[in-house]
Structure 1
Amino acid sequence: MQSLLLLLPDFSLILLGALLRRHLLAAENLWAGIEKLVYFVLFPALLFNALASVPIDFATTLPLFLCALAVLFGGFVLGWAGQPLMGLAPIAFASRLQCAYRFNTYIGIAIAGKLHGALGVATMGAMSGAMVPFANILAVSMLARHGQGSLARELLRNPLVLATLAGLGWNLAGFELVEPAQAFLKRLGDAAVTLGLLAVGAALRWGQVGGRLGGSLWLLAVKLMMMPALAWWLGRALGIEGLAFELLVLFAALPSASSAYILAMRMGGDGPGVAWLISASTLAAVATLSFWLYLLGVAG
């Protein structure tokens, strides 16, 4: 119960976003503008400020990153193994495969900050930001084989990648942010979490699942149950403990990201099928994240 109560405020914002889009703020261009604001301005500011301002133990962070990368590739392989269950054309399967390993950074940052404050935000931000290029490489390379698009262009214009690299570079160089700049970035970051979660809710889409339901359920099981189980096993095997272990499992258990839908549409893929999977994983994550937080003992 405590785990569910911990998640309630964040998932309430997601529900509010869905209700606002349906009943009060239905204009598509409004939510498209909010998503761009969060993606290109607010969330990069949050990542840069967290990574530039909080001391990071890189001796502990490197094993965490390597473990997260292994879990990401594990999700890709497990998702790929479900192809015979899908009954889809190659481009449609490549579109949906993203939902087996891509992760919703907004939800991760919100929960990490609630659990561990600024250090949790910095650690989750660094881990998520470091995994974004690899998730994009997997997704874009698969889609580019069957559709259209450029891997290099997708990576070079990704603001989360740029903000992560800039924040880590600032930290490694030993620079300090002056107080006005830090306060400015903090206020942008505070807005990022709230507006980001509202945008997640507004982006929820339901329609025909397409293909075979068993294949879609397999991808959901990979993302919400198999990946965090793999993270748990790898983390213990590599001796990762404390905050790092908790956030590793949380990272692996996050629902699929709305960016999977955007990429699928941009590269000529199966947008509606991806949208269904994102929506289903987001709603199911209320239960599955509660389960993993309970096992971790961080909310009870």
Structure 2
Amino acid sequence: MQKVDIAISYYGKPYQTMVTLFSLLEHSRDYVDKIYLSIEKKQPYRDAWEGVCKIKEIFEKRGLIIVHPERFVPWMSDVNPNGLDETTRLSLRYQYALEKTDKPYLLICHNDMLYRRDLIGPMLQRFAEASANLVGVGRIGQCWNCSAFFAKKCNPETFEQYKPTQEELLRQMDEYPTPREQRDRKLVQEGFIHPLPECRLNEYACLIDVDLYRQSTIPNGPVPYFGGVWDGSDTAAAWFRYSYLHGLKIQNFYYEEYADHAPFSAVSNGNDADNNRFIYEDIERQAREYMIKHYHPDEYSTATKLQIAKMVAEKKIDKWYSKLRNRLKR
């Protein structure tokens, strides 16, 4: 059986992360070897750091590798980030796993997923049946942000066929404004017309051909990194565009038949929780209850409890010193 590695970027949501990993392994364990959990240096809330200790205890024996990037570089604003030193490059979202895995395929996924069926097997089957140059399989397009979708001109299955003029796209934006209209309009005016600005391979759950990725991305090829984006756009939009323009194929795969994104959110949106403590705590509470009911009690070893206590104490001291320094500056 073909083994794959997993890449997850950790930005808060410890209980949702554990549900993601438990449910993924429940349905796809035979395919999974290593899990790269990349911890972003900036976290939304303190309990996110405490959650790392819990995740490590439960999943390290299941192939988990905790990655602490040396810099905080979740993405690059530059569409073509040439000349990055290794430390910065490996700090890009998912890049460490994309460079370090020894597997031919890497599953990239969010840390707020609930898997209901195995999707790795069907994704691998797509690669087995495809012609050459298939670099990625997953849900194509952020159609909910795209005027062409609301104009009923384009969808994930037809993005290759729909090749509008610049004037047509700008007219659609007037008629069907979207949340990122200003940024998308600027890109279209600069000539970024096809693929459309909101076309990407969604990172919620997608499978990447590692060798093709490495051959085509900087410095070996002209394609920007998966984590290198246009300022104001989203992860992998720039990678998607330049991969497509340089002859690589990306195939649509509706992950919704196999998994739910942000299952504990009323609007299936993970971003709201990052900026709203009330929403965050409510979603985490539901994820914790789900984990206890289906997978694992929220109980940990003495060593982990001591590590968490030490971490909390250090954070309190850091906060106290920060307040003291601010007072002394006045």
Per the normalisation by structure 1, the TM-score is: 0.21
Q: Which has the larger radius of gyration?
A: 2
Structure showing the higher strand proportion among its residues: 2
Structure showing the higher helix proportion among its residues: 1
Per the normalisation by structure 2, the TM-score is: 0.19
* Higher relative contact order, structure no. (Cα contacts within 8 Å, ≥ 6 residues apart): 1
